[in-house]
Copies of this chain bind each other. A is one copy, B any other.
Amino acid sequence: MEKAFSENTAGLRPSAIREIFKSLTDPSVISFAAGNPSPESFPVSDIKRFTDIILEENAASALQYGITEGFTPLRGAVLERNKRIFGIGRDYDTAIITSGGQQGIDLTAKVFCNRGDTVICEDPTFIGALNAFRAHGLNTKGVPMRDGGIDPDELESVIKSSHKPKLLYLIPTFQNPTGRTMPYETRKRALDIAKKHGLMILEDNPYGELRFSGEDIPTIKSMDDEGRVVYCSSFSKILSSGMRVGYVICDNETASKIAVCKQVNDVHTNLLFQMVCHKFLTEYDLDAHIAKIRELYKRKSALMLSCLDDIGDSRIEYTRPDGGLFIWAWLKDFGDHDGFIKKLAAKKLVVVPGRTFNCDEEKPSDGFRLNYSTPSDEQIIKGTEILKETLKEI
């Protein structure tokens, strides 16, 4: 029978990245395409230890329905940590535990935006957010990412020329896909501009704790004194992505709306793993663990950058991130960009084409995203050699 799908979802396509991810079954293929944390970053034995303790001492609660807003002690611990690390959380703020950072993005859009509204985004930006916005029937309009991130004047002019701009979606720190970090002044101005034009800000900070060089820059949420910023983050990059535990920190009124939407979406997040996260925040030296992940990514990013530097071809440029998981590379003055990505794939190196991250998918891109957290050192070396060889051929 013929199906009549909803207007919001009829045109949706699966994320190119997750489709690439699915097809990576050939072990000889080198993937710089993932957004996965390194498996070395999972504290497996402690996850097992905590899981065992919870199932021994508290199984009847851990396996039963829980409260939609999240495991109360975890909510408290999340607020406490974010206050300490990022200066986030005023009297009127609270934390809602979500099923990964993605759910925070999806529900924030649902809570604030009507079909046809516009979400202003960095361009390129995280595909999972773009597709979440599209699935609510929202327009996405991009502010070009430059060397120093978005330009505030450009941001304001994009807002002015947009139809019903409602939400400003930003990943200020180690942005996905570019690895760039928004300077303090831009953050401040972005908040002012959002205020001036009546937009809410969704600040997505999944990589914020993964800084391996330079100094921390205050989050936009820490500057927010009126509840304009909804802050999303998760445990995916510091404990485990597969467990799907994230959180939103925002004012109580917004939180209660998000909770109602979460209630009808998945009732609550896997309770045992909420309890596991709580133990990691309260009975474990999480800072020491994160310091190890930072060291690991510092080493892996330095290796990838040094391999890229060795290419010695002025036609390729790339960012030098201070943290996170990604390097953004682009080809200057080169026409057939899609052809280049295909050539790489034919040589068994998979990268994510820049177009994927564009607000307007039809718009060409000269960039592509490189991930250094998932591939082994050997794969980083071999993959960048494939890049070098392929550049020679064009």
Residues of B contacting A47 in the complex (Cβ-Cβ under 8 angstroms): 55, 59, 63
Residues in B neighbouring A44, C-beta threshold 8 A = 55, 59-60, 63
Is A51 a contact of B55 with CB atoms below 8 Å?
Answer: yes
Please give the count of copies of this chain that the complex contains. Answer: 2
Whether A319 sits at the interface, judged by CB under 8 Å, is no
Residues in B with CB closer than 8 Å to A9 are 110-111, 257, 260-261
A242 with B272: CB separation less than 8 A:
yes
**CA–CA, A134 and B240, complex, Å:** 34
What is the chain B residue whose CB lies nearest that of A35?
B65
A128 near B: Cβ within 8 Å?
Answer: yes
Q: How far is the CA of A243 from the CA of B65 in the complex (A)?
A: 8
Query: Bound state CA distance, A135 and B55, in angstroms?
Result: 35
Question: In the complex, which residue of chain B has the Cβ closest to the Cβ of A14?
Answer: B260
Decide if A254 is an interface residue (CB 8 Å cutoff): yes
Q: Is the CB of B115 within 8 A of A256?
A: no
Interface string of A42-65 (1 = CB under 8 A from B): 101001100110011001111111
CA of A24 to CA of B35, assembled, Å:
42
A263:B14 contact, CB within 8 angstroms: yes
Given contacts A42-B60, A131-B260, A131-B264, contact A114 B7 (CB under 8 A): yes
A47 CA / B86 CA spacing, docked (Å):
37
The 8 A CB mask of A183-196 against B (1 = contact, 0 = none) is: 00000000000000
The answer on a CB contact under 8 Å between B265 and A106 is yes
CB contact between A52 and one of B8, B35, B48, B63 (< 8 Å): that residue:
B48
Closest 4 A-B residue pairs measured CB to CB?
A63-B240, A242-B271, A132-B264, A99-B266
The chain A residues found within 8 Å of chain B, CB to CB, are 1, 3-9, 12-15, 18, 21-22, 34-37, 39, 42, 44, 47-48, 51-52, 55-56, 59-68, 99-100, 102-103, 106, 110-115, 128, 131-132, 134-135, 166, 198, 200, 226-228, 236, 240-244, 253-254, 256-257, 259-261, 263-273
Known interface pairs A1-B226, A47-B63; 7 further A-B residue pairs with C-beta atoms within 8 A, sorted by A's residue number:
A6-B111, A6-B113, A22-B67, A103-B265, A128-B264, A135-B261, A242-B268
Contacts A/B (CB < 8 Å), 24 sampled: A3-B253, A6-B112, A9-B110, A12-B257, A15-B263, A21-B65, A42-B59, A44-B55, A44-B59, A48-B52, A52-B52, A63-B240, A64-B241, A100-B266, A100-B267, A102-B265, A102-B267, A134-B264, A135-B260, A242-B272, A244-B267, A244-B269, A266-B266, A270-B270
